[in-house]
Amino acid sequence: MMMDIASWLREYASELTGYAPQLMVEAADEIERIRSRLEKPTEEMLKAGRAANRLVAGNALGLACIAPDAAWRVMADMILSRSE
């Protein structure tokens, strides 16, 4: 079973000394803050996500002319990420 990255950071930080543990705890806090925002996206966040998807799709189509194999991979990744 895979451990959650935030939990792992907190657990590993408890084994260290110095400045690094504090950075790891802050990183875990930031991961959890971002997760909470992604669970409740605002309309602006959704709009920005759709714009990013259009940009990636446009770039993938342009890439198809130059490197078809890479373009297929990008498009497949986009489709698979939507199904998750």
- Are the CB atoms for 76 and 69 separated by under 8 Å? no
pLDDT score, position 65: 66
- Cα 9 to Cα 19, 38, 58: the distances in Å are 14, 20, 37
pLDDT score, position 21: 82
Asked whether residue 69 carries a pLDDT value surpassing 80, the answer given is no
Query: How confident is residue 2, by pLDDT bands cut at 50, 70 and 90?
Result: low
Lookup: tokens for 6: 């935030």
Task: Pick the more confident residue, 15 or 2.
Answer: 15
pTM listed for this prediction? 0.45
What does the angle CA 38 – CA 56 – CA 33 come to, to the nearest 5 degrees? Answer: 15
pLDDT tens track for 33-66: 888 877 777 888 778 878 877 777 766 666 666 6
